[in-house]
């Protein structure tokens, strides 16, 4: 009997169908962020990263051109099982000839990405880029009191909706367009309402353009603070959640965007009760929103459990969001995405009905014992079987090291 067969038997004894878990996992799409490959650099502006986010490290091999980034994404995707979507930022526009400002971006500036995605049967998600640009003034964009600045970024948001619709039409897959602005203050403001009122007005203006809501899902991502923006964040949790509900768009939670003892896993159920769809940025905050590579850790598993046991795999847009420049970037990509998938498989392999029944009968003793027992169940054997069926190697490190030797080290 193979290790998988043994594991299957063990899970079956608990009422868990390992085959069904694998089948379900195959259909879950993870939206993979393109920005792990070049430290959130992009191609449209030479400005350094800003907006209170930071990539640290200088591991060799960062992608410097669209061709390099595309090659790296190919390498990374070849080592990830399951369904993927490509998540792009507006700063990854590819100009062939005259560059355009962010307020002037058009679908044609993303044609190379559409060709890339179509050739690989990928859908595309999108993000307007409200950072690392000279039109960010005093750390403000959509909430700026300077009308020229505010308008510029409203036009950017509108342009991005048009581009998102183009992605959906070309690929045949709906596009999730996520709005996140870095706007905030390092020190105590005198007016907290004004910037938020302007942000609300700007969002209203962006969303006023007609677009097909079955093709473009606009999401809004909140944040607690950024580096250099410690005292006040315009797009706070309360602002973004209230706005999303009122405007009928989709709320997005990034698990690096809350106070250190707050957990997104506990928030998912509440949002599911009041939203048809919700969206996540899965990351690993270490003491702050540091965007470390996602690990197979307790909170990632808990997030996955909340999605699976609430029957919400079709209602949650799952995207990765991290950027580590201190290790091989391809490995960072693959490790983080695989860990999201591992967490989902782990969740699919829990005896969820049994656990709920124990909770409802107030048998917290048996609940604790069973939950603990599941931690050492032969999960790894089911994961390995999933990789085998998906035709990706269990050992991706050798492939990454080989690519590093042949390709990445030459980028100097
Ligand atoms: C920043 C947000 C945002 C960015 C990306 C690059 O704190 O998490 O999602 O990481 O848009
Ligand atoms: Zn995020």
Residue pLDDT, tens place only, 176-202: 999 999 999 999 999 999 999 999 999
* Model pLDDT, residue 252: 99
CA–CA dist 153, 159 (Å, integer): 10
Asked whether the whole model's pTM tops 0.85, one would answer yes
When the candidates are 3.40.50.1100, 3.30.420.40, 3.20.20.150, 3.40.30.10, the CATH number that belongs to 28-348 is: 3.20.20.150
CA–CA dist 338, 123 (Å, integer): 19
Confidence class of residue 276 from pLDDT cuts 50, 70 and 90?
very high
| Ligand 1: nearest atom to the Cα of 323 | 10
Residues β-bridged to residue 218? 177
Burial environment of residue 345 by CB neighbours within 10 A (0 to 12, 13 to 18, 19 or more): buried
When pLDDT is averaged across residues 72-80 and rounded to a whole number, the result is 98
Cβ–ligand 1 distance for 35 under 6 Å, the answer: yes
Question: Which of 141, 221, 285 gets mutated to test ligand 1 (max ligand atoms within 8 A of its CB)?
Answer: 221
* Model pLDDT, residue 97: 87
* 257 assigned to active site: yes
* 395 assigned to active site: no
When pLDDT is averaged across residues 275-304 and rounded to a whole number, the result is 98
**pLDDT surpasses 90 at 127:** yes
For residue 49, which of 323, 297, 318, 385 has the smallest C-alpha distance? 323
When pLDDT is averaged across residues 93-109 and rounded to a whole number, the result is 96
Ligand nearest to the CA of 128: 1
**205 Cα to the center of ligand 2, angstroms:** 23
Cβ–ligand 1 distance for 221 under 6 Å, the answer: yes
**307 Cα to the center of ligand 2, angstroms:** 18
Q: CA 64, 67, 71 angle in degrees (round to 5)?
A: 100
Confidence class of residue 250 from pLDDT cuts 50, 70 and 90?
very high
* Model pLDDT, residue 307: 98
Options 39, 165, 183, 289, the catalytic residue: 289
DSSP 3-state assignment of 402?
A: helix
Options 254, 306, 324, 381, the catalytic residue: 254
Cβ–ligand 1 distance for 131 under 6 Å, the answer: no
Burial environment of residue 390 by CB neighbours within 10 A (0 to 12, 13 to 18, 19 or more): middle
Confidence class of residue 153 from pLDDT cuts 50, 70 and 90?
very high
Q: Whose CA is nearest to atom 1 of ligand 1?
A: 53
Measured between its terminal Cα atoms, the distance across the chain in Å is 50
| Ligand 1: nearest atom to the Cα of 321 | 10
Give the DSSP per-residue string, 274-312: H-S-EEEEE-B-SSSS--BPP-S-HHHHHHHHHHHHTT-
When pLDDT is averaged across residues 207-233 and rounded to a whole number, the result is 98
Pairing mode, strands 250-254 and 216-221? parallel
Cβ–ligand 1 distance for 125 under 6 Å, the answer: no
CB hemisphere CA count around 377 (13 angstroms): 28
Confidence class of residue 412 from pLDDT cuts 50, 70 and 90?
confident
Domain boundaries, the chain: 28-348
**pLDDT surpasses 90 at 123:** yes
**178 Cα to the center of ligand 1, angstroms:** 9
Confidence class of residue 144 from pLDDT cuts 50, 70 and 90?
very high
Q: What is the mean pLDDT of the chain?
A: 98
């Amino acid at each position: 009997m193979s290790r998988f067969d043994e594991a299957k038997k063990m899970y079956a004894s608990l009422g868990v169908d390992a085959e069904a878990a694998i089948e379900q996992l195959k259909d879950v799409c993870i939206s993979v962020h393109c920005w792990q490959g070049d430290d959130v650099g992009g191609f449209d502006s030479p400005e350094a990263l800003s907006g209170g986010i930071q990539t640290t490290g200088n591991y060799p091999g960062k992608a410097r051109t669209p061709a390099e980034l595309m090659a790296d994404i190919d390498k990374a995707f070849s080592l990830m099982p399951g369904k993927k979507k490509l998540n792009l930022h507006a700063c990854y526009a590819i100009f062939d000839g005259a560059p355009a400002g962010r307020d002037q971006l058009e679908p044609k500036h993303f044609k190379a990405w559409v060709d890339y995605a179509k050739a690989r049967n990928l859908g595309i998600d999108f993000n307007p880029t409200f950072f690392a640009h000279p039109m960010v003034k005093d750390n403000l964009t959509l909430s700026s009191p300077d009308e020229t600045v505010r308008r510029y970024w409203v036009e950017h948001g509108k342009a991005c909706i048009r581009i998102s619709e183009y992605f959906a039409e070309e690929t045949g897959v709906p596009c999730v367009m996520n709005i996140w602005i870095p706007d905030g203050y390092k020190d105590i403001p005198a007016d907290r309402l004004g910037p938020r009122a302007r942000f609300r007005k700007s969002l209203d203006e962006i969303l006023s353009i007609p677009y097909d809501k079955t093709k473009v899902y606009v999401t809004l991502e909140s944040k607690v603070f950024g580096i250099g923006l410690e005292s006040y964040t315009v797009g706070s949790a309360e602002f973004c959640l209230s706005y999303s509900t009122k405007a009928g768009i989709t709320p997005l939670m990034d698990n690096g965007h809350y106070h250190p003892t707050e957990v997104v896993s506990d928030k998912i159920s509440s949002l599911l009760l009041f939203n048809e769809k919700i969206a996540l940025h899965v990351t690993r905050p270490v003491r702050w929103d540091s965007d470390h590579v996602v690990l197979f850790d307790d909170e990632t598993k808990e997030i996955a459990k909340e999605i699976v046991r609430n029957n919400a795999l079709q209602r949650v847009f799952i995207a990765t969001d991290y950027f580590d420049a201190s290790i091989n970037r391809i490995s960072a990509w693959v490790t983080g995405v695989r860990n999201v998938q591992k967490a989902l498989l782990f969740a699919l392999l829990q005896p969820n009905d049994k656990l709920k029944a124990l909770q409802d009968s107030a048998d917290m003793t048996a609940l604790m014992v069973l939950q603990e027992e599941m931690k050492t169940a032969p999960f790894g054997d089911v994961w390995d079987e999933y990789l085998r069926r998906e035709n990706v190697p269990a050992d991706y490190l050798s492939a990454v090291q080989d690519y590093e030797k042949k390709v990445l080290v030459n980028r100097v």
